[in-house]
Structure 1
C-alpha cells in the first residue's frame, strides 16, 4: 500500500501538518503503580488523504523478544477554522476512546471525553486518558500518556521519543 504522507493536505489540517509522517521510537518506557516498569518499541503513522483529519495507526512490540504488544488505529480530526481536535482511537485490548483537546503550534494536548469497553475486556477498566504530543529538538516527537483506571488515579503511564522515518 502506498503512503501519501501529506501530499494532499486539507487546509483545515495545516495546524497538524507537523505530525504527518511515519515515526519510530528512539526510547519508549512505561510505568504504572500496578505493574513493573517496561520498555517498548513503537511505530506510528499519521497520514493525510485530503480530508479534514489524519488517519492514525500505531503498533508496539517488545524490544528484545520482538512480540507484538499493543495496536491502535483511529483518526485525528480538527474542527475546521479552529485549533480544537478530536482523537478517536480503537485499542486492541477492547477499549475505544474519544479524546478532545487543542493543537497550539507544535504541541497537541487532549483528554478523554468518552471511553467504551467490551464486556469481557481485561480489568481494571480504563476510566480516563490524557496525551501530550510535542515536537522537540532535532524534529523529534515526544509523547506522554496519562491513564486512570478504577484502581489508580490519573498517573503518567507512557513516555516516548520518536524520530521521523
Structure 2
C-alpha cells in the first residue's frame, strides 16, 4: 500500500458551470449552420403542431393533438421530440398521451456524402426503444423497424412502420405497429402545421 494520500478529482469541488453553451434550433435563419448531410431533411426541421386520430385492435379509436420539434445543432443528425395529448369531442385536452425522443441520422458513404438512407433511434417513457432504418425520397421518409427493445414492464411491441411526408407545407405521417399479438396494423396518423422555424 502506498503512503501517498489520494487526491480528490479536480471536478469534485469545482464551481458550477454556465448553461449549455451550444445552440440547438429549429429556426434555420438563426443558430448553427445545418450540416450538409442533412440537406434532404431540411423541410422537416421546425416546430410542428396539429391533430390526428389513433386506434388499434386492442383499444378504442381516439383523437389527439401533437407537437413535434425537430432541431439541429450543426452536427450530422436531427433531434426529434414528440409529445401528444388526448382530445375530447370538443377538441379540449383530456390528458397527456404518447411521448418520444430520439435522433434521425443520415447514412453517409465513404466520402461523407448522404446516401438517402436514414437511421432513426426513438425511445418512449413507457419502456420501448426502436431502431428504424429508412429511405428519404424527395420530401417523403419511410421507416421500418430493424429492432425493438422493451423493458420487462413495457407493453409488447414487436415491429413498426412509419411514413412521413411534407405535403402542401404540412407534416403528415402514418404509423403502423405490430403489438399485443396483432400483426402490423394502423395505429396513428396526423397532420401538423409548421408553427416555428
- TM-score of the alignment, normalized to the shorter chain, above 0.5: yes
1:15 has 2:40 as partner = yes
Residue 71 (structure 1) aligns with: 99
Deviations 1:14-41 (A, max 9, x none): 000010000001x300021111100111
For 1:159 and 1:71, the matched residues in 2 are separated by: 15
* 2:84–2:96 CA contact under 8 A, matched in 1: yes
Runs of 5+ in structure 1 lacking a partner?
none
| SS of match in other structure, 2:182 | coil
**Aligned-residue CA RMSD (Å):** 1.5
Q: 1:96-115 alignment to 2 at 5 Å?
A: 96-115=129-148
Matches of 2:106 and 2:176 in 1, distance apart? 22
Matched, 1:62 2:93: no
Count how many residue pairs are aligned between Structure 1 and Structure 2: 161
| Change over 3 Å in CA distance of 1:146–1:42 after alignment to 2 | same
> Take 2:24 and 2:75, find their aligned partners in 1: how far apart are those partners?
15
Counterpart of 1:159 (choices 189, 194, 197) is 189
The question of 1:127 aligning with 2:158 is answered yes
Deviations 1:103-162 (A, max 9, x none): 01100001100100011113xx1000110001112x011100000014111011111001
Equivalent residue number for residue 51 of structure 1: 75
Deviation at 1:65, TM superposition (A): 3.6
Q: Which structure 2 segments of 5+ residues have no match? A: 1-19
For 1:40 and 1:163, the matched residues in 2 are separated by 14
CA deviation vs aligned residue, 1:31-54 (integer Å, no higher than 9, x gap): 211111001110001101111110
Separation of aligned partners in 2, 1:53 and 1:3: 11
TM-score normalised to structure 1 length: 0.92
Q: Which residue in 2 is equivalent to 1:116? A: 149
Distance in 2 (CA, whole Å) between partners of 1:159 and 1:46 is: 18
